[in-house]
Structure 1
Amino acid sequence: MTMTMTMQAAVLAAPGRMRIEAAARPEPGAGEVRVRLEGCGVCASNLTPWEGPEWMTYPTAPGELGHEGWGRIEAIGPGVTGLAEGDRVAALGTRSYAEAEVVPAAMVVRLPKELDGLPFPGEALGCAFNIFRRSDIRAGQHVAIIGIGFLGAVLTRLANEAGARVIAISRRPESLALARHYGAAETISMDDHWRIIADVKAITGEAFCERVIECVGKQWPLDLAGELVGFGGRLVIAGYHQDGLRQINMQGWNWKGIDVVNAHERDVEVQLRGVREAVEAVASGRLDPAPLYTHRYPLERLGEALDATRDKPEGFVKALIELAP
């Protein structure tokens, strides 16, 4: 196969404006590989740069913001062992909105043949598995999950598999149906703060929940999460709070004696562990993420994918960018 020296890459030119540019195809250095990308998941963390905060600098580097890429290794740098051209991998890169990306060889996870032809946004799936581990969910516990999108749905499946009784709380009826598909025992519409508290109190025999996972990243869901944790329970913050400071009911948290876990990993080895666990779960059939990949776009429509991630049209769970093979 003849390899061109250039590639197509997305560049965030200004708030709400994406363009596709021809960029130099990067060459892998020592300890690096170049991945010919097949696709990349679209993460809600991209929305703040898309909207245009004061701290953001434009234009971005080619491919920047994309971090859920997968594809095949097409070039290997000096000193890399254990990988070969043609290996299909999930990559923990940062410039995956492009046709190719160079990443350290230590930051890819090989995908088995059982996943051939299937999309695999490894960073996003791995994030869910790492959140689950930090949640320390055990059989018999009541686990409330607030916000059933991609993360909430995967966590519902994992908590149910662990033997917990999952209470899924979300705004949209289709989100609650998705939670039931993945094993939620109870579903509650997220429309009235005090009614939700009363419902969870009744379901749990007034004990509330041993574990509550907040997956939204907004003030009200965080307030609600604190109310739903029982004495000595654990509040797991999985939502990505990136729009400023938060207020918390510290008196309530102190009084209940709860643990608070910010379940966002920055240690690469921990991130890789989550991706490997996700690979095993999907390849073995324990987890089927296919219903979660609801919207697919070519690279040139990345802006539409970001708008959909923000606006959540009917049936939306997660968008994928797909690249030509």
Structure 2
Amino acid sequence: MPVPEPGPGEVLLKVGGAGACHSDLHLLEVPAGARSFTLPFTLGHENAGWVETMGPGATGFEPGDPVIVYGPWGCGLCMNCRQGIENYCQTPGKPSPGGLGGTDGGMAEYLLVPSTRYLIPLGSLDPREAAPLTDAGLTSYHAVKRSVHLLGPGSTAVVIGAGGLGQMAIQVLKALSSATTVVAIDTSADKLKIANTMGADEELVSGDDAVKQIKDMTHGQGAEVVLDFVGINPTLTMAAQVSRMLGHLTIVGLGNAALPVNFNSPAKECSVASPFWGSIPELIDVIALAQAGKIKMLVEHFPLDSAAEAYRLLHDGKIAGRAVITPND
């Protein structure tokens, strides 16, 4: 691909790391007639690197500065965007993230970023390690943050799916509410071991026994917060079964299943939400937590030539945390 030339207000980024996400797999599998993008198209919406060139009128950064890129690019003018909530831009057709929508992403040597407002300084963090924080970290943080007020002493939070996002959610839960008991659920024994190292208090194999154990440890009440990072029928069913009255059930995973909601399930007045990504101020929080050593993404590096192999491993469930493509080693 040709190296982009930054226009007015734009920034050219030398890519250090571009995370490989399950959302990319969905794009790869979209039938030709249903694509919202044209080929050739560059994937990569979890991006971090170093400022290469500032376009005319762009200020606030210098070449060589390590930065991470906020992903959901909105219009910048609506009420939500003006509050930094560009993930919920009110303009039709927005947000349009690079690597997910109509513009090329970061799995290339260089990435064109439309505005400096999407760049967050990384300080001492390595862009190759930090790249997934812009989605896996931010999405998990946003999902947890909405429920923090429920997580006082004696509370329980259940994380269903201990992959990249689930691992981050466990760390965020411990960072924002050390008093809560965090329960990790997965079908993989290896991922449950990783969940333990990330701070989970209990690790359970997915299934009916896990539901019973959660009910037992919560005295039959269920968990205040249930986060489903898978989103398939069995996990949503389990999430509803372990929900608590006046609790929160948050669907983060893109498994494309549906959660039946009626008078008896989930628990009475349990709030069900399906959030998307997070805000610019929240990404600043995520970077601050990472700089303080409170959260850290488990990453596996792949050179650009091995990107297809990284996606194959991701598809087969063989990536322990997050695969990161490194175009500029």
Instruction: Tell me the equivalent position of 2:271.
Output: 259
Q: 1:101 aligns with which of 111, 114, 125?
A: 111
In the TM superposition, what are the counterparts of 1:10-159 in structure 2 within 5 Å?
23-53=1-31, 55-56=34-35, 60-63=39-42, 65-93=43-71, 94=98, 95-103=105-113, 104-112=115-123, 114-116=124-126, 119-121=129-131, 122-124=133-135, 125-136=137-148, 137-140=150-153, 141-159=155-173
Q: Secondary structure at the match of 1:119?
A: helix
Matched, 1:165 2:169: no
Equivalences, count: 289
- 1:256 is paired with a residue whose SS is coil
Q: CA deviation at 1:86?
A: 1.3
8 Å CA contact 1:70, 1:91 repeated in 2:
yes
CA RMSD across the alignment: 2.0
Q: Structure 1 CA distance, aligned partners of 2:11 and 2:36? A: 28
Change (3 A) 1:58 1:264: closer
- Percent of counterpart pairs with the same letter? 25
Question: 2:226 aligns to what SS in structure 1?
Answer: strand
Where 1:41 maps in the other structure, the secondary structure is strand
Three-state SS of the structure 1 residue aligned to 2:146 is helix
Q: Which residue of 2 aligns with 1:274?
A: 282
Name the counterpart of 2:77: none
Alignment check: 8 A CA contact 1:210 1:230 kept: yes
Partner of 2:236: 222
Cα deviation, 1:79-135, whole Å, max 9, x if unaligned, reads: 2121111111111351111110111211111110x2147521131222222122123
TM-score, L = length of structure 1: 0.83
Partner residue, 2:328: 324
* 2:284 counterpart of 1:284: no
| 2:328 partner letter | A
Q: Which amino acid aligns with 1:66?
A: G
Q: Does 1:248 align with 2:260?
A: yes
Change in Cα spacing, 1:254 to 1:238, as seen in structure 2 (3 Å) is closer
Cα distance, 1:118–1:296 mapped onto 2, change above 3 Å: closer
SS of the residue corresponding to residue 307 of structure 1 reads helix
Distance in 1 between the 2:20 and 2:151 partners?
Answer: 31
Name the aligned partner's letter for residue 306 of structure 1.
Y
**Which residue identity lines up with residue 8 of structure 2 in the other structure?**
A
How far apart are 1:255 and its partner, in Å? 5.5
Query: Closer, same or farther in 2 for the Cα pair 1:152/1:305, shift >3 Å?
Result: same
Of 300, 310, 319 in structure 2, the residue corresponding to residue 305 of structure 1 is 310
- Alpha-carbon offset, residue 247 of structure 1: 4.5
Deviation at 1:40, TM superposition (A): 0.4
1:316 is displaced (CA, Å) by 2.2
Q: Deviations over 1:117-156 (max 9, x none)?
A: 7521131222222122123252321111100011111111
Shift in Å, 1:169: 0.6
Runs of 5+ consecutive residues of structure 2 not aligned to the other structure: 72-97, 99-104
Specify the code of the residue in structure 1 equivalent to 2:286.
A
CA distance in 1, matches of 2:126, 2:305: 25
Q: What's the TM-score, normalizing by structure 2?
A: 0.82
Q: 2: CA distance between counterparts of 1:288 and 1:298?
A: 21
Q: Deviations over 1:263-297 (max 9, x none)?
A: 214xxxx53223211211111112232xx11x321
- Partners of 1:117 and 1:134 lie apart in 2 by 27
- Relative to its length, the structure with more strand (as a share) is 1
